[in-house]
Amino acid sequence: MTAIPQGRTRRAALVAAICVGAVTGTAVLTGCGAEDPDAGTNGVGKLPADKIQAKTRSAAQGASAVRLSGTVVTSGRTYQLDMRLKADGGTGSVTSKGATFKLLRVGKQLYLKADADFWNQAGGKNGADGAGEKLNGKYVKVPQGDPAYRKFSGFTDKDVLLGGLLSLHGTLATDGHHDDAGTRTIRITGDKGSGGSLDVSLEGTPYPLRLVRGGGAGTLSFSDWGKDFAVAEPAKGETVDYGRQLPTS
């Protein structure tokens, strides 16, 4: 039988001891047989945080469509969004202060659709009591000069909305590998989380999948990247004019 050199035996024993220490401690050493969290991924998990953010912003900008859902807090008010967006339009629902309305944008034309209660409450503030029945379930054209257009059109604009949301604040850092509904992700943070966190897909295109905004300004999930959907002008019988400034609150 061939004798094993003592030096090789000592080295093997040392590696085994290091691996045992890694398992019982906090370190994870891929050389000790641990699974590489980036194996079989798109590789962005190995990049520094600023490079990951640049790649995921580029991926989001290049996608033809996206669906986003969750909450956005702006100017002290919370909006619950469920929107589908693409370059030439968007559609979905917005809920705020218990009232839900739908938004539809086709090109530059924005429409708002809500039930009678929404319009009756708004009418009380704008001198249009009793407008609810006329406007119930109808698409109301929002003039581009109306304050409501400036406030709500951004919710239907993919580039504007994502451009404002996908920037973390403060010093960027990676915060480990995670999982989002079965998809492996790498998380990046701003100022250790106080400036927000973003989970980026490690599978396929590095799209952003989950955003937690800094300062408690909301949490959003992103899905259906690149999945097209139809936006079309509503029929004339489904459209009415409000006749005055639309409500924004």
Is 0.75 surpassed by the pTM of this model? yes
Model confidence pLDDT, tens digit, residues 204-239: 999 999 999 999 999 999 999 999 999 999 998 888
Sorted by where each begins, the domain ranges of the chain are 44-61+163-223, 68-159+229-240
Pairing state of beta strands 239-240 and 183-190?
unpaired
Kindly report the CA angle at 153 between 97 and 58, in degrees rounded to 5?
Answer: 110
Model confidence pLDDT, tens digit, residues 163-185: 889 989 999 999 999 999 999 99
Kindly report the CA angle at 82 between 78 and 86, in degrees rounded to 5?
Answer: 120
Question: Rounded distance, CA 104 to CA 165, Å?
Answer: 20
- HEC string of 141-209 equals EECCCCHHHHHHHHHHCHHHHHHHHCCCCCCEEEEEEEEECCEEEEEEEEHHHCCEEEEEECCCCCCEE
Kindly report the CA angle at 49 between 78 and 174, in degrees rounded to 5?
Answer: 75
State what percent of residues in the chain have pLDDT above 70: 79
Question: Rounded distance, CA 248 to CA 245, Å?
Answer: 9
Please tell me the number of Cα atoms within 13 Å of 230 on its side-chain side: 3
Question: Rounded distance, CA 77 to CA 249, Å?
Answer: 9
